[in-house]
Amino acid sequence: MSELEQKLKMATSLAGKGKVSRRDFIQLAMLAGFTAAAGNAMFVKAVRAEPKKGGSARFGLAHGATTDTLDPVGYPDTFTQCAFWGALSNSLTEVDAKGNVVPDLAESYEPSDGAKKWAFKLRKGATFHDGKTVTPDDVVASFRHHMGPDSKSAAKSLLDPIADIKADGPETVIFTLKDGSADFPYLASDYHIPIMPVKDGKSDWQSGVRSGPFVLEKFEPGVSARFKRNPNYFKSNQPYLDEVEFIAITDVAARTNALTTGDVDFIGRADLKTLELLKRNPNVEILELSGYGHYVLPMNTTMAPFDNNDVRLAMKWAIDREEIQKKIFLDHATVGNDNPIAKAVKYAIDPEPKYKYDPDKAKFHLKKAGYETLKVDLSVADAAFAGAVDAGVLIKETAAKCGIDINVVREAEDAYWDNVWLKKAWCAGYWSGRPTCDWAFSIAYAKDAAWNETFWKNPRFNELLVQARAELDDAKRGSMYGEMQQLVHDDGGTILLVFNNFVTANSKKLAHGEVAPNWENDGLKIAERWWLA
Amino acid sequence: MHPLLRTVLQRLGLGLITLFVVSLIIFSAIEFLPGDFARAILGQSATPETVEAFQKEIGLDKPPHERYLNWIGGVLQGDFGSSFSSRVGFRRSVMEIIAPRLLNTLFLAGITALVAIPLALGLGLLAALYRNSIFDRAVNAVTLTTISFPEFFVAYILMLFLAVKFPIFHSLSNVSADMPFFEKLQRTALPVLTLTLVIVAHMMRMTRAAIISLLASPYIEMARLKGVSPGQIILRHALPNAWAPIANVIAFNLAYLVVGAVVVEVVFVYPGIGQAMVDAVRSRDIPVVQACALIFAVTYILLNLLADVISIATNPRLLHPR
């Protein structure tokens, strides 16, 4: 590297901190052989790239209801998740932009006894907003908040593997699991499990006193939640913003208008139909990330005709996923290959053969199963995912050419999850996805999982699931999870149409680093991670 | 007893009976909603045990008539029950959820009424006075046009011009209780304007029609022959006799402002009671839905009562019926 280049690199980092003027920077860039325009562009990029403190931002989110509360047993959607977890609280761990689990409120964690025992050491000096130090007792109560026979928590089944939690000394918590699980730190990053102060032996969630980057100022359910920076936050560099406000704007047109008129600086779930128009706005940046969430058509592998794997394979080859991706999701989705593990997840593979629309293969498998033609019902409703009914109609068209006559049954949206899902032989559904193979498989593909929507019971798969969970050797684990993904792909009852993309839009006043795809809105931590350009 | 007082008491009694019937209808209509409330609230991710625990907690395991009596008994004592979003040891009363929303709605309705009613009456009187003139036709054409478009269309057009192209007002009307009054006014300007455009035509046309039909009566002809000026004829001779139909239309539109503004609320993200009710329906927060429906019923009954009283009080023939 020449001296000039080195100087320029230094100047770039200084520019980010606001220590080099635009004129000086461009002069230096021109000396290094760049044009003035290129130098200017480099300067702007450098200034935007380096986080700066101060300022306020308003986030317009697609959810929010009068029923929202601070209680983490709920947190049904992005409003509560971003505001009361991402901005207000911390879990023991968090998932970074690369999909790795990293310590958050915990400082470190150590497995023992075949990953059956996990010791989490709490961060020194971490305090709640009222100044109280975060202690192991707080952690124990925060987990217990979701456990027990009377719990209504959505995280209850998630925490099922935990046999016992206890405090060990002033800064360590010991989790004892029923079976070994190498992925336990991921589980501890869930947004349902923020650490809350303990009061009279129970978690105090009502007060809104937590440990997070922002202090709650005002919360009107279904309207907005306002926060100001926590001056004693344990991460010295974050958060960057002084004040944030989350505004519930459920109507997508209202959300778009709020962004274009500057009433908010960020909107979640941008309108896909008018996205091209929004892109023309020079002050707006659009972010599109392929996350873990996916839309599926589960076939019940215990019901005829789907109890025959050749029928399942025929269905998998009879669907034109590319067309569905283009026509229904308007190119804002990633085509699925019947593997529920998203590419961004560790150990993900892309199983062969890649399923695509192939009438010959579909007919071949149909014949092998002993059918010349086949008549099946597909139960759909937009409650499963927006566009499910349209997708059903498209599938009917393509499958007809393969000798499969699909009767698309439009079910009532109300009570879809009660009366259709897990009941009908073939229906539509969605998964928000999970950050690890074990988690995703245990919840929906394990033989006794409550939500095993395909009722798939593959002995080899279930054997591997338990083995891989306790395996601490990375390479061995990887090959086990690879085999399991291949099994789901070859033998499972899930047709995975697409992974849905998170599409958000923000004013160019806001800047950010690499955006995490594990959940919407920068892993729900947009308040902590973004800054004003 | 004063005849007016007797009428008011009589109407109030009838109103109470209506309310009772309405409460029965609301309760049974909600019983017929498909799906299980507990399941709908807890979402797809709820396990059967959690659903059962929750059903017990909100009393859904009891028979309907028992739940109705519990509910209506509470309402009679001013207690609308607790929202389904309550938790053990943390009660969220329905009133706590509805009260701020109701105040917002009344604020929006009040400001709109202050703008729209004088405007409609004035335009109606002028249109009657100069009927069949260019002015009359123009006012008719404009108000009929604005009432003919759906509310959301008017709202988006106004937003396009007054918030996007010329940023005078805000496209978001998310007012809150601690906002200064003038900021609140500025924030609500676009919804007020939209609602005004939507309701003015009805009241204005009724005023115009009522006055015009009176202008053909003999006593007006007498006044005209006496040499009274046209303005005086309308204000002193025609208008007092036209109050009954006008009051009825105003009451109808006021009630609409309270119960029917939900589309405008959604478009401008105004935290009113209509949105609260839609929200509650979506999340199956039944106690809130029931309370909203009852409040809407009360609004209609009271405003109609008021309109009746005004029409009776301004008409001696109705005041002293034989």
Q: Is the pLDDT of residue A396 over 60?
A: yes
Q: What is the pLDDT of residue A274?
A: 84
Among the partner residues A66, A206, A247, nearest to B90 by beta-carbon distance: A206
Q: What is the pLDDT of residue B197?
A: 92
Average pLDDT over residues A253-274: 87
Provide the token pair at A516: 């995490």
Distance of CA A315 to the CA centre of its chain: 28
Spatial separation of the C-alpha atoms in residues B291 and B33, rounded to whole Å:
17
Average pLDDT over residues A388-399: 91
Residues B81-97: tens digit of each pLDDT:
888 777 666 778 888 88
User: Which of left, alpha, beta for B34 (phi over 0: left; psi -120 to 50: alpha)?
Assistant: beta
CB atoms A65 and B275 under 8 Å: no
Q: Which of A376-385, B187-196, B204-213 has the lowest mean pLDDT?
A: A376-385
Q: Which of A150-159, A326-335, A457-466 has the lowest mean pLDDT?
A: A150-159
Average pLDDT over residues A507-519: 86
CA distance A2 to chain B (A): 50
Spatial separation of the C-alpha atoms in residues A92 and A109, rounded to whole Å:
10
Average pLDDT over residues A182-200: 88
Q: What is the dihedral of CA B147, B151, B155, B157, to 10 degrees?
A: -60
Average pLDDT over residues B140-148: 92
Average pLDDT over residues A141-164: 81
Provide the token pair at B56: 């017990």
Domain ranges of chain B: 100-285
Provide the token pair at A35: 């044009």
Q: What is the pLDDT of residue A53?
A: 85
Q: What is the pLDDT of residue B1?
A: 66
Tell me which of A67, A204, A206, A284 to substitute to probe the interface with B (most B C-beta atoms closer than 10 Å): A67
Q: Is the pLDDT of residue A41 over 70?
A: no
Amino acid at A245: E
Q: Is A413 on the interface with B (CB under 8 A)?
A: no
Q: What is the DSSP letter of A82?
A: I
Nearest to A342 by CA among A519, A77, A505, A476: A519
Q: Is the pLDDT of residue B117 over 90?
A: yes
Q: Is the pLDDT of residue A45 over 70?
A: no
What's chain B's average pLDDT?
86
Task: Provide, rounded to the nearest whole percent, the portion of chain A with pLDDT above 70.
Answer: 91
Residues B10-56: tens digit of each pLDDT:
888 998 999 999 999 988 888 877 667 777 666 655 667 777 777 77
CB atoms A223 and B49 under 8 Å: no
Q: What is the pLDDT of residue B204?
A: 93
Nearest to A451 by CA among A115, A157, A65: A157
User: Which of left, alpha, beta for A37 (phi over 0: left; psi -120 to 50: alpha)?
Assistant: alpha
Distance of CA B81 to the CA centre of its chain: 24
Q: What is the pLDDT of residue A2?
A: 61
Q: What is the pLDDT of residue A48?
A: 58
Q: Is the pLDDT of residue A319 over 80?
A: yes
Q: What is the pLDDT of residue A42?
A: 66
CA distance A36 to chain B (A): 34
CB atoms B35 and A254 under 8 Å: no
Spatial separation of the C-alpha atoms in residues A108 and A105, rounded to whole Å:
9
Q: Is the pLDDT of residue B139 over 90?
A: yes
Q: What is the pLDDT of residue B322?
A: 64
Q: What is the pLDDT of residue B67?
A: 85
Average pLDDT over residues A215-235: 89
Q: Which band of pLDDT confidence, cut at 50, 70 and 90, is reported for residue B319?
A: confident
Q: Is the pLDDT of residue B109 over 90?
A: yes
The 3-class secondary structure across chain B, one letter per residue, is CCHHHHHHHHHHHHHHHHHHHHHHHHHHHHHCCCCCHHHHHHCCCCCHHHHHHHHHHCCCCCCHHHHHHHHHHHHHCCCCCECCCCECCECCEHHHHHHHHHHHHHHHHHHHHHHHHHHHHHHHHHHHHCCCCHHHHHHHHHHHHHHHCCHHHHHHHHHHHHHHHCCCCCCCCCCCCCCCHHHHHHHHHHHHHHHHHHHHHHHHHHHHHHHHHHHCCHHHHHHHHHCCCHHHHHHHHHHHHHHHHHHHHHHHHHHHHHHCCHHHHHHCCCCCHHHHHHHHHHCCCHHHHHHHHHHHHHHHHHHHHHHHHHHHHCCHHHHCCC
Residue of B nearest to A67 (CA): B85
Q: Best-predicted range by mean pLDDT among A176-185, A272-281, A434-443, A479-488? A: A479-488
Spatial separation of the C-alpha atoms in residues A84 and A75, rounded to whole Å:
8
DSSP A32-67: TT--HHHHHHHHHHHHHHS-----EEEEEES---TT
**A18 vs B236: which has the higher pLDDT:** B236
Residues A345-366: tens digit of each pLDDT:
888 888 888 898 999 999 999 8
Q: What is the pLDDT of residue B42?
A: 67
User: Which of left, alpha, beta for B151 (phi over 0: left; psi -120 to 50: alpha)?
Assistant: alpha
User: In A, residues 228-287, which contact B (CB 8 Å cutoff)?
Assistant: 247-251, 253-254, 257-258, 260-264
Spatial separation of the C-alpha atoms in residues B167 and A478, rounded to whole Å:
56
Q: Is the pLDDT of residue B137 over 90?
A: yes
Provide the token pair at B83: 């929202």
Nearest to A268 by CA among A131, A63, A453: A63
**B88 vs B104: which has the higher pLDDT:** B104
Q: What is the pLDDT of residue A488?
A: 92
Distance of CA A459 to the CA centre of its chain: 29
What's chain A's average pLDDT?
85
B279: chain A residues, CB-CB within 8 Å: 65-67, 222
Q: What is the DSSP letter of A256?
A: H
| Helix intervals (H) in A178-320 | 184-187, 252-260, 275-279, 309-317
State the CB neighbour count (10 A cutoff) for residue B150.
10
Residue of A nearest to B84 (CA): A67
Task: Find out whether A362 and A318 touch, Cβ atoms under 8 Å.
Answer: yes
Alpha carbon separation from A270 to A152, A179, A253, A323, A418 (Å, rounded): 32, 42, 9, 22, 29
Q: What is the pLDDT of residue B116?
A: 93
Q: What 3-state DSSP class applies to A429?
A: strand
B269: chain A residues, CB-CB within 8 Å: 247-249, 251, 254, 258
**What is this model's ipTM?**
0.81
Q: Is A303 on the interface with B (CB under 8 A)?
A: no
Q: What is the pLDDT of residue A484?
A: 93
CB atoms B285 and A221 under 8 Å: no
Provide the token pair at A490: 């070859």
Spatial separation of the C-alpha atoms in residues A123 and A93, rounded to whole Å:
11
Q: What is the dihedral of CA A66, A70, A74, A76, to 10 degrees?
A: 60
CA distance A17 to chain B (A): 34
Average pLDDT over residues A483-489: 93
Among the partner residues A66, A261, A263, nearest to B285 by beta-carbon distance: A66
A218: chain B residues, CB-CB within 8 Å: 176, 178
Average pLDDT over residues B119-129: 91
Query: How far from each other are the two terminal CA atoms of chain A, in whole angstroms?
Result: 30
Average pLDDT over residues B162-167: 86
Pairing of strands A243-248, A56-61: parallel
Amino acid at A433: G
A330: Cβ contacts below 8 Å, ≥ 6 apart: A272, A273, A275
Q: Which band of pLDDT confidence, cut at 50, 70 and 90, is reported for residue B165?
A: confident
Q: Which of A252-256, A477-481, B113-117 has the lowest mean pLDDT?
A: A252-256
Tell me which of B279, B284, B285 to substitute to probe the interface with A (most A C-beta atoms closer than 10 Å): B279
Q: Which band of pLDDT confidence, cut at 50, 70 and 90, is reported for residue A317?
A: very high
Instruction: Look up the CATH superfamily of B100-285.
Output: MetI-like (1.10.3720.10)
Q: Is the pLDDT of residue A49 over 70?
A: no
Pairing of strands A374-380, A404-410: parallel
